[in-house]
């Protein structure tokens, strides 16, 4: 599939819009953000296609978002809030199981 066939002609894009897109894409490259752009807008589709045959949870993309040596919080876990932060703490509970429901050892990184 060519890029031109992926763009709908019905959008009737103007040259101003085209030039804005071009400038934005050039900026993505100049800022060194192509890996993140591809992770966000392309890799999830590749992941879906390549894991469609699997049972259980859908695959996900780790991406460059994992922070080594980040703190661990054990279940049930309330995500920490800043001092004086408004709102209700986010509470996570759950189990990790195989497709047949058997418990599976491990941890989830958020």
- pLDDT tens for each residue of 31-66: 999 988 888 788 878 888 888 888 776 666 655 566
| Residue found under tokens 């491990």 | 106
pLDDT for residue 106 is more than 80: no
Distance CA 60, CA 47 (A): 7
30 confidence band (pLDDT: 50, 70, 90): very high
Measured CA distances, 5 to 17, 25, 41 (Å): 18, 19, 18
In this predicted model, what pLDDT tens digit does every residue of 76-91 receive, in sequence order?
777 788 899 999 888 7
* In the block, residue with structure tokens 């991406």: 63
Query: What is the model's pTM?
Result: 0.42
| CA 3 vs CA 6, 7, 22, 108: distances in Å | 5, 7, 14, 37
The rounded mean pLDDT for the chain is 80
The whole-number average pLDDT for the span 8-17 is: 80
């Amino acid at each position: 599939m060519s890029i031109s066939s992926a763009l709908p002609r019905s959008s009737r894009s103007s040259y101003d819009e085209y030039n804005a897109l071009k400038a934005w894409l050039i900026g993505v490259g100049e800022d060194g953000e192509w890996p993140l752009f591809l992770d966000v807008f392309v890799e999830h589709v590749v992941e879906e296609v390549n894991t469609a045959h699997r049972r259980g949870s859908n695959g996900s993309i780790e991406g460059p978002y994992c922070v080594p040596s980040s703190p661990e919080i054990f279940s049930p876990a309330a995500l920490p809030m800043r001092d004086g932060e408004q709102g209700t703490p986010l509470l996570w509970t759950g189990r990790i199981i195989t497709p047949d429901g058997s418990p599976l050892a491990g941890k989830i990184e958020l």
